[in-house]
Structures are given as structure tokens and as C-alpha cells.
Amino acid sequence: MKVLVTGAKGQLGFDVIKRLKAEDMECIGADIDDFNIIDEAQTVDYISNYSPDIVIHCAAYTAVDKAEQEQDKCYNINVLGTRNVSIACKKNKCKMVYISTDYVFDGTGEKPFEVTDKPDPINYYGYTKYLGEREVIDLIEKYYIIRISWVFGINGNNFVKTMLNLAKTKSEISVVSDQIGSPTSTYDLSILIVEMIKQNQYGIFHATNEGFCSWYDFACEIFKQANIKIKVNPISSEGYKTLAKRPRNSRLSKTSIEKYNKLPNWKISVSKFINKLVL
């Protein structure tokens, strides 16, 4: 199997490439320096020249708050870019993996969202990721749409690294405690993605680490695993103003991936991640 990964310099793309190589699968990682997904001709030419069996589309605009101010840029990357990758896949008759987000949902209620629940995003980033899903569904016959949340990986910025950096200069911080979801390790997720593409089980999937927590719980566990003494105060979403609204309920049901190996509990993965950072 021949695999092309977009967004290869990002958190997930980086780990997916590493996993593919670890399994001796033929692959290539592409990023903005290789081709611009906003340009249809560039995208089609690059993908056609490599002629992959499957494209894992990790490239995305992910700055949730900035997206409210940079709507055109966010739309171009997440919607038009995804459309162009989908067009290229259709022309080359290859399969496609599209990485989506918990932010396609409105965050109401307390039950984990199922893959069959109707998306209703409450911020612009989530809106564009949902439109990206629609492009894939409309253009591709054989696709995997994988919704994830609260991502952390070695190659890039994330909540874990932010917390550890804040602890270097602060003795007390406040973290939102009323938004509930699941952290997702890109290391664990990359293993699942590679496992999934070996099978022909297409459709929409929810894939995060096991267990649920708030951002406050997440922060407390990070400091516990890193053996850092710092006071963490729980605050409400109203007490922490952001440009983009966040869903209170980001729980995703993992019933769609029960046929695969479950991702480990998020606390285990945070521990392993921090150990890697320290080494």
C-alpha cells in the first residue's frame, strides 16, 4: 500500500509518518512547501505524480480563536483545501482519510456524541471542519472520517506543553472545569489510523483516548505526572473569555472503533508523553 500524508509537519501527520515507516509501508509526507492544498491544480498534480492508494489528510487550520477573525483563511484551508484533496483522490481512484473534530457538535447534554448524531457547530473552526466532512462524503466513495479531540503530540504545540511552560513562570493558574471531553495522543491515534487503513471498513469514526475529563482535570494530571507543585484553580467557561465558543460537552462515543484496539486511557498516555518530553 502506497500512502500520502498531508500536513506532515503537524502533530498528527508527524506521528502517522513515523508509524507508517515503522511498519515498512511505502509513504511520503507532504506539507505547504511541497504543494498548496488551496490550489487545485497543484494538489491534483502532486497527488497524481505520487499516485498513492490512500491519502491521509491531516493538513488543517486549527487555530480555533484566530479562526473567528481569519475566516477566509480558515475556510480556504479546511473547506477548499479538503475539496481539492478530495478531487485529486477521486481522479486517482484512491481512498481518503479525513481528520475531523469534536467541534462539529454543539456540546449540549452530557451523553457522548455518536457518529450518527447531527453536527451543529458553534464556532467557525468547527463549521469549516464539518463542511470539509461534507466535501469528502460528496466526492469520495471510499473514505474514513475520523473525529478526534484535545490533541497532544511531540511535534507541535498543545495543551500539555502549554501547561508545562506556564509552570516555569507561575505558581498558580486557572483552568476551565466545565468543558468535558477526552485528550487524544497522536502517537496512539497514529497506530489506530494505520490499523484502520489496512481494512476496508469505511465511514465516520470517533477516535480518542479512553476516559473523560475536564480541562482542569487534564491540567492537574499533567502536573501530577510531571511532579510539579502548582496551584490549579477551576473556573467556568464564563470566567475564561475566548473569541470562539467551546462546546461544554465534547464527549465522543467510541462504539464506532470497537472492532479495533482501543486507545489507552488518557492518563496513561499523558504519563508516557511527559516521560518522552523529559528524556
- Please compute, for residue 181, the number of CA atoms within 13 A of its CA located in the half-sphere on the CB side: 25
Joined together, the cell numbers standing for residue 46 give 502532486
Task: Report helix angle 266-278 to 159-166, nearest 10.
Answer: 60
3-state SS assignment for residue 33: coil
Nearest residue to 180 (alpha-carbon basis) of 138, 145, 208, 146: 208
CB 209, CB 264: distance < 8 Å: yes
**What are the beta bridge partners of residue 28?**
4
Three-class SS of 231-259:
EEEEECHHHCCCCCCCCCECCECCHHHCC
86, burial (CB in 10 Å: exposed 0-12, middle 13-18, buried 19+): buried
3-state SS assignment for residue 164: helix
CB 66, CB 16: distance < 8 Å: no
From the candidates 46, 50, 125, 144, which is the catalytic residue? 125
**Active-site residue, 125 included:** yes
User: 240-258 burial, b for 16+ CB within 10 Å, e for fewer?
Assistant: eeeebbbbbbbbbbbebbe
Q: Which residue has 468547527 as its cell numbers?
A: 126
Q: Which residues are catalytic?
A: 125
